[in-house]
Structure 1
Amino acid sequence: MEASWLVLLLRTGVQLLALPIYLLWYLGLWGPFCKKAFPHIMARIAVGYNEKMSTKKKELFSNLKNFAGPSGVLTLLEIGSGSGSNFEFYPAGCRLICNDNNDNFSKFLHKSLSQNPHLQLDRCMIAPAEDLQQIPNASVDVVVCTLVLCSVESTERVLNEVLRVLRPGGAFYFMEHVAGAAFSWCLFWQQIYDPVWQILFDGCHLFRETWKDLEKAGFSELKLWHTRAPLKWHLTQPHIIGYAVK
């Protein structure tokens, strides 16, 4: 996405204001600090996000049981499970596999698991979403990913892994903030703040067109809706919500 001269000018101004953070980043000090601080920040944000998005999450996950395997038990892999903010929306008896690439979420995750005894934890694994080799081919019924595809290195590789681990007829559920509409003020400001935002929020990109990656990933069926989340930060209000069937 090509930026205008005005976007480039304002972006440079924002980056100059964030110069101390850039300096820490270049010295290699910001990354380790961010990895430790980010889970604390996200655990707080998740509470408010769930309050705002609870109805949409309930609607999204309402048909999870339909994808249970022949045994009737739903095996669900959550990519980027973080603090476990989705657990309350999963059906009772669900067999849960948790994945995240940041082990500093661990204490928040286990707290959430203790608050949701209706779930059966299979295992937790620390690995990037692009490399889920610990999960066998066609071994899970459902993969869930919320507010994660904005920060992965390669959306295409993640979706390839999702398709690999899903059984035929299994489903991928997603809820992601994305780029604002073309020529909108939202997209304009997303482009300006994006470089600094990535550093502040552990690689999160503000204006990814994630729906395009989903459309070309190779799913047999795609149910996708664009919506505007009722969040305070207008930069993250544009969302896509839905599920795709292998």
Structure 2
Amino acid sequence: MRSCLLKICRLICVFLSFPLFLLKALGLSAAYKRCFPRLVYAMTARYNAKMHSEKRKLFRNVCKFADNNGSLRLLEIGCGSGANFQFYPYGCTVLCADPNPHFETYLRKSMDANKHLTYEAFLVVHAEDMQEVRDESVDVVVCTLVLCSVRDVKTVLQETRRVLKTGGAFFFLEHVLSSTSTWIHFLQHTLEPLWFFFGDGCTITRATWKDVEAAGFSQVHIQHLEAPLTVVIRPHIMGYCIK
């Protein structure tokens, strides 16, 4: 009964979202690419306020992965508007990467507000193909609310391992698929077609922790949590992996 209801509700959402995907297929949704960074920048303060303690907990060990000279080079993939800058340790060098060039205006605002960091560059690249970043050249890679919208999670994690120095760390914070026994799981599968468009490719039904666990890191530390957010993105994972 529940399975049947899920299929019917999802079909309704697919039908409602069809005009949006048609516009995208015709290349007429480019304007939304420009608007999306503004939307993300506006939401950042609210997300950080609700997740402040979790982010502080997540990033408290970043400084431990500095090299022998005490310098720390950090790559943030899917950096967006720079929502994490305030949590990074004083003096670290940040390399930013995002496929949407329209984030740069808001990224610069975050850079100006976080003078305790050194900013190396803003690379307009997809996380699946970061050829501009050399092998084993960064101490830390950070990825928050990004693996939900990349095209290939496994490839992103392979690229992450490639650019990390041996002994370096990958820090992540992501919303994920809920347990099959919950109504959140039902809502995620039902609303996914509409959410995908308005979230600029965000997928709310990924069991991302499975990909992280299978990515080949020497150590994996994952915590599941319920975030105080919109119900369909309430299930989260956070943690870090060591290469």
Q: Distance in 2 between matches of 1:213 and 1:23?
A: 31
Per the alignment, residue 211 of structure 1 pairs with 209
Measured against aligned partners, the alpha-carbon deviations of 1:103-130 in whole angstroms (never above 9, x if no partner) come to 0000000010011010011111000000
Cα drift, residue 23 of structure 1? 3.6
Per the alignment, residue 60 of structure 2 pairs with 62
Partner of residue 194 from structure 1, selected from 186, 192, 195: 192
Do the aligned residues in 1 keep the contact of 2:13 with 2:193 (CA within 8 Å)?
no
Q: Distance in 2 between matches of 1:26 and 1:220?
A: 41
Residue 242 of structure 1 aligns with an amino acid whose one-letter code is: G
Cα drift, residue 203 of structure 1? 0.6
Per the alignment, residue 15 of structure 1 pairs with 14
Query: For residues 169-188 of structure 1, what are the structure 2 equivalents within 5 Å?
Result: 169-188=167-186
Q: Distance in 1 between matches of 2:16 and 2:128?
A: 33
Cα drift, residue 215 of structure 1? 0.6
Q: Distance in 1 between matches of 2:147 and 2:202?
A: 8
Per the alignment, residue 103 of structure 2 pairs with 105
Residue 234 of structure 1 aligns with an amino acid whose one-letter code is: V
Per the alignment, residue 239 of structure 1 pairs with 236
Q: Distance in 2 between matches of 1:117 and 1:79?
A: 20
Q: Distance in 2 between matches of 1:76 and 1:133?
A: 16
Measured against aligned partners, the alpha-carbon deviations of 1:53-95 in whole angstroms (never above 9, x if no partner) come to 0000001100111000111011100001100010000001001
Measured against aligned partners, the alpha-carbon deviations of 1:118-167 in whole angstroms (never above 9, x if no partner) come to 00111110000000111111110000000000000000000000000000
Per the alignment, residue 46 of structure 1 pairs with 44
Cα drift, residue 19 of structure 1? 4.2
Cα drift, residue 27 of structure 1? 2.8
Q: Distance in 2 between matches of 1:168 and 1:20?
A: 47
Quick check: 1:25 aligned with 2:33? no
Cα drift, residue 16 of structure 1? 2.7
Q: Distance in 2 between matches of 1:22 and 1:154?
A: 20
Q: Distance in 2 between matches of 1:116 and 1:173?
A: 20
Residue 103 of structure 1 aligns with an amino acid whose one-letter code is: P
Residue 103 of structure 2 aligns with an amino acid whose one-letter code is: F
Q: Distance in 2 between matches of 1:70 and 1:131?
A: 29
Q: Give the TM-score taking structure 1 as reference length.
A: 0.95
Query: For residues 67-146 of structure 1, what are the structure 2 equivalents within 5 Å?
Result: 67-146=65-144
* SS at 1:205 equivalent: coil
Residue 21 of structure 1 aligns with an amino acid whose one-letter code is: L
Q: Give the TM-score taking structure 2 as reference length.
A: 0.97
Cα drift, residue 188 of structure 1? 0.6
Per the alignment, residue 228 of structure 2 pairs with 230
Residue 5 of structure 2 aligns with an amino acid whose one-letter code is: L
Unaligned segments of structure 1, at least 5 residues: none
Moved more, 210-219 or 193-202: 193-202
Do the aligned residues in 1 keep the contact of 2:17 with 2:193 (CA within 8 Å)?
no
Q: Distance in 2 between matches of 1:20 and 1:134?
A: 37
Residue 116 of structure 1 aligns with an amino acid whose one-letter code is: N
Residue 148 of structure 1 aligns with an amino acid whose one-letter code is: V
Moved more, 6-15 or 205-214: 6-15
